Amino acid sequence: MTSVNQVPDFKAKWAPHNNELKPLPFRSVMERVIYIVKEIIVYIPRAIASSITRRLIYPAASPSISNTTTQKIADEHFDTFWKTTQTRDSRENYNNAWFPCESEKLYAIRNTYTANEITLESPDNKTLHGHYIKHKDAGTPGAKVILAFGGNGLPYHFGFVTNWMQEMLCDHETPHSFLMINPRGVFKSTGKPTQNGLVLDADTLYQYAEHLLGYDKDNIILYGHSMGGAMAAHLKALHTDSNAPLILSRTFSSLSKQSEDISSKLPFQPTRLVKWIIRNLGWRFDNVKQLGKIKSPVHIFNHKYDYAIPEFVGLHTAMNMSENKKDHIHTHKVVGGLDSHMSKLSELRTTPQHLNVAEYLKKHVFTVETAVSASA
C-alpha cells in the first residue's frame, strides 16, 4: 500500500484558473489578530455546526468511515481484483464478488488495463489517495481518460464510481483510462472537506492527468455522481477551454435546494436555519450557475423517483427551467433500477425514448467527438 507519508506522485500548483479557491490573505497584522479572536469566540458553536453540516451533506468523511480497519478492508477489496494470482481459477472465484465480468471478458480486461495506486498533493498541501486504471493505449495520440467523482464522500472502493467503472469496462468495453480519487477527509486522504477544498482536490486530479500523464485537455472527460457531480461541474467551470464532455448522474441543482429536502427529514423542518448554516459555512455548490460557464457538451441524468435527489431538487429539473439551458446541455430523465440513486447505468433508461443510459454514453459520448443531441 502507498503510504500517505511518502513523496507524492504529483504536486498540483496554484494557477490563474484555480486562484479563486485560494484562501484570502490577511491584509494586516491587526486583521489577523481580529480573525484569531473571532475564531476563539465562535470556535465551539462553529465546530458543532460544521460537524452537523458535514454529516448531513458529506457523511462519509466522519471518523466512523475513515478508521484504519475500514480503510484496510477497502484497500484489500479494491486490490484483490488486480493483485490476485494469474491463474484462471482465481479470477473465476473472485469474478462475482468483485468484477462482474464473464471469465473470458475478465481475462481480456486484465490484459488491457493495469491499476496503479497514486498519491497526489493538492496546492494547499493535502495528501490525496486514488487509482489510475490505465488502458494499454494510454499515451497514444487521441487517448482519453475519464475522471470519475463519487457521491456524498463515498470512497471509490465501495461507491457508485467503482461499480460504474466496472460496468463500462466489462459490459461496454470502454476504450479509455479511468482516474479516481478519495477527496480530503475520506480514507487515506488528509484534511477536512470544504466546498473549495473538494473542488481543489478535483483540480489536483485534473492537473495530474494533463501535466504528468500528458492527456490533452480535450480528451479529459469528467463524470460525477450525486455530490461528485457538483465537484465535476465546478471543475469543468475552471477549465472552460476544454471541449471534452461533462457527465452528471443524479446530481442536485444546488445545496440550497438540497437543504430543503434535508430539513424536511429533521424535526420541525427548520428549512431556513439549515439553509443559513450551510450557506455561512461555505457550502453552496450552485451547479446551475456553473453550467452557465460551460460551452462543451453536458449530459445530465436524473432519476424520476430518486430518494436522495428528489425531482424538485434535481439538476435536470432546474436546467430545464433555467436561462443557462443551451443546445449543448442535454437533460435526461431516467427510470428503472432497483435503487433509484445507486443503480448501474445499464439498469436505467431514459424517458420517453427508453434508451439504455450506458449504451447511450458509449454511443454518443465515449466514441464520438461531438455528443448527439437527445434531450428529454
**What torsion, rounded to 10 degrees, do the Cα atoms 76, 82, 84, 87 define?**
160
Can you tell me the mean pLDDT for 278-295? 88
* Strand partners for 349: 335, 356
Distance CA 18, CA 114 (A): 31
The span from the CA of 238 to the CA of 294, in Å, is 9
Q: State how beta strands 298-303 and 246-249 pair.
A: parallel
- Model confidence at 358: pLDDT above 80: yes
Mean per-residue pLDDT, 284-313: 93
Indicate whether 375 pLDDT > 60: no
151 versus 230: the higher-pLDDT residue is 230
Written as one string, the DSSP assignment of 315-368 is HHHHHHTSTT--TTEEEEEEE-SSSTTT--GGG-EEETT--BHHHHHHHHTSSS
Residue range 34-43: mean pLDDT, rounded: 68
In terms of Cα–Cα distance, which of 193, 111, 180 is closest to 148? Answer: 180
Can you read off the three cell numbers belonging to residue 9?
506522485
Please name which of 276, 281, 189, 193 lies closest in space to residue 231, comparing C-alpha atoms. 193
Query: Residue 376 pLDDT more than 50?
Result: no
Gap between the Cα atoms of 334 and 350, Å rounded? 4
Pair type for strands 220-225 and 246-249: parallel
Query: What is the structure's pLDDT at 59?
Result: 53
pLDDT of residue 171: 62
Domain spans in the chain, listed from the N-terminal domain onward: 26-364
Which of helix, strand or coil describes residue 98? coil
Strands (E), 154-275: 177-182, 220-225, 246-249
At 106, the pLDDT band (50, 70, 90 cuts) reads low
How high is the pLDDT of residue 2? Answer: 39
Cα–Cα distance list, 127 to 22, 241, 332 (Å): 17, 27, 36
Instruction: Give the pLDDT score at 57.
Output: 55
Q: Per the CATH hierarchy, to which homologous superfamily does domain 26-364 belong?
A: Alpha/Beta hydrolase fold, catalytic domain (3.40.50.1820)
What does pLDDT average to over the chain? 78
Provide, rounded to the nearest whole percent, the portion of the chain with pLDDT above 90. 36
Q: Work out the average pLDDT over 262-276.
A: 74
Angstrom distances, CA of residue 69 to CA of 6, 65, 74, 255, 281: 21, 9, 9, 32, 31
What does the pLDDT average to over 286-295? Answer: 95
Using CA atoms in the order 245, 126, 130, 65, what is the torsion angle rounded to 10 degrees?
A: -110
Per-residue model confidence (pLDDT) at position 255? 85
Given this model, what pLDDT does residue 197 score?
94
With CA atoms as reference, report the closest residue to 168 among 91, 85, 112. Answer: 112
296 with 232: CB under 8 angstroms?
no
Strand partners, 134: 114
Residues 61, 51: Cα–Cα separation, whole Å: 10
pLDDT at 277: 74
Q: Among 72-76, 260-264, 356-360, which stretch is predicted with the lowest mean pLDDT?
A: 72-76
**Alpha helices in 208-253, H assignment, sequence order:** 227-238
Q: How many CA atoms lie within 13 A of 266 on its CB side?
A: 16
pLDDT digits (tens, 9 = 90+) for 78-104: 555 444 434 444 434 433 333 445 556
Task: Decide which of 46 and 92 is more confident.
Answer: 46
Identity at 13, one-letter amino acid code: K
Greater pLDDT, 374 or 260:
260
- The three-class DSSP label of residue 118 is strand
Sign of CA dihedral 194, 195, 197, 201: positive
User: Could you tell me which residue, 145 or 33, shows the higher pLDDT?
Assistant: 145
24-28, 176-180, 214-218, 340-344: least confidently modelled range: 24-28
pLDDT at 19: 92
d(CA 279, CA 283): 5
- Does the pLDDT at position 252 exceed 90? yes
Query: What's residue 119's pLDDT?
Result: 95
Give the mean model confidence (pLDDT) for residues 272-293.
84
* Amino acid at the residue 156: Y
**Residue 204 pLDDT level (bands cut at 50, 70, 90):** very high
